[in-house]
Amino acid sequence: MEKNSAFDKQINDYWQQYKISDIYLGFTDMYDEDELKTIFDNFMKGLLTLGGTNKKKWQVDNYEMAMELVFSDISDQFGDSDKKALTREFQDVLEPLEGVAIYAFDDAGNSKQGPDFDAMLVEVEDDFKIGAAYYPEYYTDPDADDKPPYKKPLDATQKRTLANIKSDLANWLADFKESDEWRMLNDAVSFDDADWYIHILVEQLYTQYHIAPKDWGVEMVRAVMTDYFVSNVGMTADKYKDVAPSLLTFVGFMKSHGLIDSDQANLILKGIQDINDTMIARAQDPQNYSESKKMILAMQEAKIDMKDQDAVNAFMARSNENTQAERASKGLTYDQTLVSQPKEDYLTMKHVAERDGHKFSKSVATKVHDDMARTAWYLWSQPAQQHLHDRLNEATFVNALVLFADEVYAQTVATPKRWNGENVQTILAGRKQEISRVSYQQLVTSLEVLVSYLVEQGKFTKGNAAAVQAVLDAEHEDLQYGKVVSMQQAKKLLGKKKKRNKRRK
């Protein structure tokens, strides 16, 4: 399928949302991100081409044809090769493809088309001779995840079963809200929160273990609480104290209303109580959080309105940019379209041959350039620097620091660990004459972030760090376009700071 640039932004927005969905996360153990993105992109291009950009108008036929276009692309790549190998390839992409289709359908909110949509999925499997009916070994092989907790998405029949369970649950919760059990709890937990925790438990017990409430087992309930609730549910650590009381009260309601065996209910109630402290303890450690949960918590901390899709998309784009910048800083593979590549002017800029006993070396110049690029990428990606993102872009920040480091080395043969007040002030004086006031302010701001980091990392001696910081402080105190702050002014300011510090002691 040819690239259609008209849909690129919408597809990318959907992709950012899809990446934090439970459906997507269910595939990450079995497929590479590149594979999942290719399937997603090809399906969405077909869906948007066939159904238009208004998701409310998408019809079941649009989803079906978009899936068939993905298979058609695969068929074109295989040509006239082995039909069995081609069908096997169809089978390999079937589940992530159905996952994308289900996500798009659910997101569109056209629930009235649900039965037709389910029937369509079965029809596609029959048309291409794939799915459980044609490849039973794919679903039953011991190496293909045939033991709970299941990671594979639900098939069409299981999806309908879950839909029926959720329909029953809605009725139970309506009765629960009016029950004596709930009245005993409602001063401690809001019903919306309790409703949320209960839905999570019910849905995950079926998704992971394929069991309805009447068949719940205590170990399964404990596992969902200590694993899924901790790793995937987007709530802060302090909220976990409300989970067990909500679940205990609801299981008690189920027991009193005959919705679950009494003896089994007692075992589950004891299991919830026993595992509660473990769940709460695990929830205190962010190392136990999935990437999607970290993203959700970061949005909550940034006070992003989750209903404002533009704000969510902007935040996720920034987060993705930060992730790629941090990967670049660590020498890992990264998306170069999202990470600014610094200009390589150091290869041609004029330089001195020697200064203070140090000879200029092209290999050292290259190392200074590359090391500063990695440092700039790292700093840009860190939470402490996110305030900068509203004042300048990544390219400005990265190029400002890398070019400055290149120029210091070219003119003074000083690597960053040998920067001092004099060579920093010399390069600043030149830059101040060459660039606009706004760009100069951005340079000084970027250098302040860098110097703070280098000091923290022990890359400066205390004396050099204080002298360099004094130069930057002087620029802030007397920043005027075209006016150069002299070393005498910087030393004077440094002297004032030392006196202030001495008085504090």
Tens of pLDDT, residues 295-308: 888 888 888 887 78
Burial (CB < 10 A; 0-12, 13-18, 19+), residue 447, is buried
Helices (H), 128-242: 136-140, 156-177, 180-183, 191-209, 218-223, 229-232
| pLDDT at residue number 101 | 93
| Rounded Cα gap, residues 167 and 159, in angstroms | 12
DSSP, collapsed to helix, strand or coil, labels residue 496 as helix
Secondary structure string (H, E, C) spanning 47-113: HHHHHCCCHHHCCHHHHHHHHHHHHHHHHHHHCCCCHHHHHHHHHHHHHHHHHHHHHHHHHHCCHHH
Burial (CB < 10 A; 0-12, 13-18, 19+), residue 500, is exposed
Mean pLDDT over the full length of the chain = 86
| pLDDT at residue number 111 | 77
Tokens of 264: 């089994």
pLDDT at 336 over 90: no
| pLDDT at residue number 86 | 80
pLDDT at 24 over 90: no
Cβ neighbours of residue 183 under 8 Å, at least 6 residues apart? none
| pLDDT at residue number 91 | 85
- Cβ-contact 470, 462 below 8 angstroms: no
pLDDT band of residue 82 (cuts 50, 70, 90) is low
Q: Which has more pLDDT, 137 or 212?
A: 212
Which residue's entry shows tokens 């990967």? Answer: 327
| pLDDT at residue number 144 | 42
pLDDT band of residue 488 (cuts 50, 70, 90) is low
| DSSP summary character for residue 213 | G
CB atoms within 10 A of CB 187: 6
pLDDT band of residue 142 (cuts 50, 70, 90) is very low
Taking CB atoms within 8 Å and a gap of at least 24, the contacts of 161-165 are 161/206, 161/212, 162/203, 162/206, 162/207, 163/114, 165/202, 165/206, 165/212, 165/213
Closest CA to 154 of 118, 130, 123: 118
Phi first, then psi: give them for residue 191, nearest 5 degrees: -65, -35
- Cβ-contact 276, 244 below 8 angstroms: yes
Listed range (111-115, 251-255, 405-409) with the worst mean pLDDT: 111-115
| pLDDT at residue number 504 | 42
Asked if the peptide bond before residue 153 counts as cis, ω within 30 degrees of 0, the response is no
Secondary structure string (H, E, C) spanning 402-446: HHHHHHHHHHHCCCHHHCCHHHHHHHHHHHHHHCCHHHHHHHHHH
Residue 500 belongs to what H/E stretch?
A: helix 487-504
Cα Rg for the chain, rounded, in angstroms? 30
Listed range (15-24, 25-34, 212-221, 431-440) with the worst mean pLDDT: 25-34
- Cβ-contact 398, 406 below 8 angstroms: no
Cα 257–Cα 261–Cα 266 angle in degrees, nearest 5: 95
- Cβ-contact 386, 360 below 8 angstroms: no
| pLDDT at residue number 465 | 84
Residue 354 belongs to what H/E stretch?
A: strand 354-355
Torsion angle, alpha carbons of 274, 275, 281, 286, to 10: -170
pLDDT at 483 over 60: no
Tokens of 197: 């925790």
Average pLDDT over residues 457-462: 84
pLDDT band of residue 89 (cuts 50, 70, 90) is confident
| pLDDT at residue number 498 | 47
In percent, the amount of the chain with pLDDT more than 90 equals: 49
- Cβ-contact 121, 157 below 8 angstroms: no
| Rounded Cα gap, residues 103 and 24, in angstroms | 9
pLDDT at 321 over 80: yes
| pLDDT at residue number 5 | 55
| Rounded Cα gap, residues 121 and 154, in angstroms | 12
| pLDDT at residue number 295 | 84
Closest CA to 365 of 405, 330, 398: 405
Average pLDDT over residues 203-217: 92
Please write the tens of the pLDDT for every residue from 353-401.
999 889 999 999 999 999 999 999 999 999 888 888 888 999 999 999 9
